[in-house]
């Protein structure tokens, strides 16, 4: 992949990602990236494969290594999952605490946590 030194902003929207190593390859091509916005739409079959995207430690390591000039990081995620899924939503939010202390004025806001599970023909909200 070519190195894009003039690129300082990236807005990435992706659906049905099979794995997340592609992010390292993309970030390596943009050494002067200052602003990064990522939107993930995770569906049934891909959620288990890329559970790392829900872990703040994963993002800390990835961005520290591959986006050292980053000043702004926006991260949006939408999860559509049918079946049994045990998720500690507080743990997910807490794992991003690093970003609150690393970036001045950075805050994390969960605009809506709605976990819906479809089992035996009934829709349950947790």
38 token code pair? 């990522």
Residue 111 pLDDT level (bands cut at 50, 70, 90): low
* pTM exceeding 0.75: no
- The model's pLDDT over 41-80, given as tens digits with 9 standing for 90+, comes to 776 655 555 567 778 888 889 999 999 998 888 888 776 6
d(CA 26, CA 23): 5
CB of 39 closer than 8 Å to CB of 77: yes
The pair of structure tokens assigned to 96 is 């991003």
Report which secondary-structure segment, H or E, holds 26.
Answer: helix 22-28
């Amino acid at each position: 992949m070519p190195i894009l030194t003039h690129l300082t902003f990236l807005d990435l929207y992706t659906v049905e990602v099979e794995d997340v190593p592609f992010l390292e390859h993309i970030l390596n091509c943009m050494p002067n990236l200052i602003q990064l916005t990522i939107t993930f739409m995770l569906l049934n079959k891909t959620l288990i494969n890329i559970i790392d995207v829900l872990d703040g430690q994963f993002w800390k390591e990835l961005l520290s290594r591959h986006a050292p000039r980053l000043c702004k990081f926006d991260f949006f995620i939408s999860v559509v999952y049918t079946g049994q899924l045990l998720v500690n939503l507080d743990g997910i939010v807490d794992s991003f605490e690093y970003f609150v202390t690393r970036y001045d004025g950075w805050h994390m806001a969960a605009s809506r946590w709605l976990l819906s599970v479809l089992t035996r023909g009934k829709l349950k909200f947790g």
